[in-house]
Amino acid sequence: MFRYGDTNVDAIKLKIFPSFLSGDAKFWFNELSPGVITTWEQMRQAFVSRFFSPAMFNRLMKEIQGFTQHPNESLVDTWLRMKDLLHSCHGHGLSRGTIIQIFYHGLDEATQAILEAGGIFLYKTPNEAHQLLEDRVLLKLNWYKDMKSKPLQKTVAFAEGSINSQLMEKMEVLTRKIV
């Protein structure tokens, strides 16, 4: 965003805001009476109160505070789900340390053990713990990208001579046992 001269940042935000709206939000904005909202804070409050009710906020906060890992959910997927939940709860006001605590205590023991492999996870600073989780996500995303870009090669090895005949005999014996 560029600022020219003494242009007020709030005025710029108010001018740009409508371009980010669509659907019901755009309709709501177009129905506002001109001059009713004069500051960015008023616009923010009006928008949040219209599209983010206290009941929704309370429900999302309870979901965050009671966060638990799903069965068979990986550490990375659990962290991504926590981040999505935090992102959907505008203005949750939770510190990074509190988020790390809630997240860690919501993990199953096996996943906690994975985090403890690099030392006691909760002894790390909130920023270190957060960075560790973010690094895991980046590693997984890079692994997926690498797997997609590398063609899968399958090879079949054949044994030579007597080893080959021994393997074939064992295969026949196993086949007879199955049938």
- Tens digits of per-residue pLDDT, 28-57? 999 998 888 889 889 988 888 888 888 888
Average pLDDT score over residue span 112-128: 90
> Residue 131: inside a domain, yes or no?
yes
From CA 135, how far away is CA 78, in angstroms rounded? 14
Long-range contacts of 136-140 (CB under 8 A, 24+ apart): 136/75, 136/76, 136/79, 137/76, 137/79, 137/80, 140/74, 140/76
| Residues 142, 81 share a domain | yes
Is residue 166 assigned to a domain? no
Residue 35 belongs to a domain: yes
**Number of domains forming the structure of the chain:** 2
8 and 83 inside one domain: no
What is the predicted pLDDT for the residue at 45?
A: 85
By residue range, what is the domain housing residue 30?
1-51
Residues 97 and 85 in one domain: yes
Q: In the structure, what pLDDT confidence band is assigned to residue 9 with cuts at 50, 70 and 90?
A: confident
- Residues 91 and 143 placed together within one structural domain of the fold: yes
Q: State yes or no: pLDDT of 142 exceeds 80.
A: no
pTM (2 d.p.): 0.60
